[in-house]
Homo-oligomer: A and B are copies of this chain.
Amino acid sequence: MASGFETEDDGDDRGLLSDRIRNALTDEIATGTLAAGAALDEQQLADRFGASRTPVREALRQLAAGGLVELRARRGGVVARMTPERIMEMFETVAEIEAVCVRLATYRMTPLERSHLIELHDLSQPIVEAGDFDAYDSFNRQFHEAIYHATHNGFLAEQAIAVRNRLNAFRRTQLRQGERLRRSRDEHEAIMQAIAEGDGEMASRRMRAHMLNAATSLRRFIEANKPT
């Protein structure tokens, strides 16, 4: 998430109401519970969260600033509606940013970080065998974020996480396509290989391909389920 807020992890009972609402809405949008284009009525949301409109409004403003929600002046807000073109643009952007990250990480990561990453990667094997999509999604997130942090550039890591989060709903969808889970892990394997060899450029190219494969998988899914 773009910085600026004290976000303690989601065990949130205490904390600001507007932050809790923001986190809840972020989650619902990311998981698709709130579909793209869904209208966001302030009073309705306020009732649902047992709050007044004020914290809801603040949450919506923050989400709008993050691009998850579109606010049209005096006409209310809707969950950001994304065209297939825009989704592809976002995937390409993530792919390029991830490619940058893995290149920097290859050159900068400490032995400890490298060890941690290898360990993480090894853990994904049984998950793939079991075909556990949710577990793999969670692992995948950890894997990529470990790479972000290994760049030793906190700002870049934040940006990467923020952009990645906006693609959450789509990435999860895409993982459920056919053999994508196993192929995803194979691609990770190839990336790990390049990292182990200290070849940042190679790791970068493989990461870009990895992300674009995911995008292609998603595009196929979108076109297969096209309503028209």
> A52 at the A/B interface (Cβ < 8 Å)?
no
Q: How far apart sit A71 and B19, CA to CA, in the bound complex (Å)?
A: 12
Shortest C-beta distance, A66 to chain B (Å), equals: 5
> A189 at the A/B interface (Cβ < 8 Å)?
no
Closest to A156 in B: B93
Copy count, this protein chain: 2
Whether A64 contacts B66 by the Cβ 8 Å rule is no
Total interface residues in chain A, CB < 8 Å? 42
Shortest C-beta distance, A208 to chain B (Å), equals: 10
Closest to A153 in B: B89
Which of A62, A64, A93 has the largest count of B CB atoms less than 10 A from its CB? A93
Extra contacts, 18 of them, besides A4-B69, A18-B61, A97-B97 (Cβ < 8 A), are: A2-B66, A2-B67, A4-B63, A4-B64, A4-B65, A4-B66, A4-B67, A6-B72, A15-B73, A16-B73, A19-B73, A58-B58, A65-B65, A65-B66, A86-B155, A93-B159, A96-B100, A96-B104
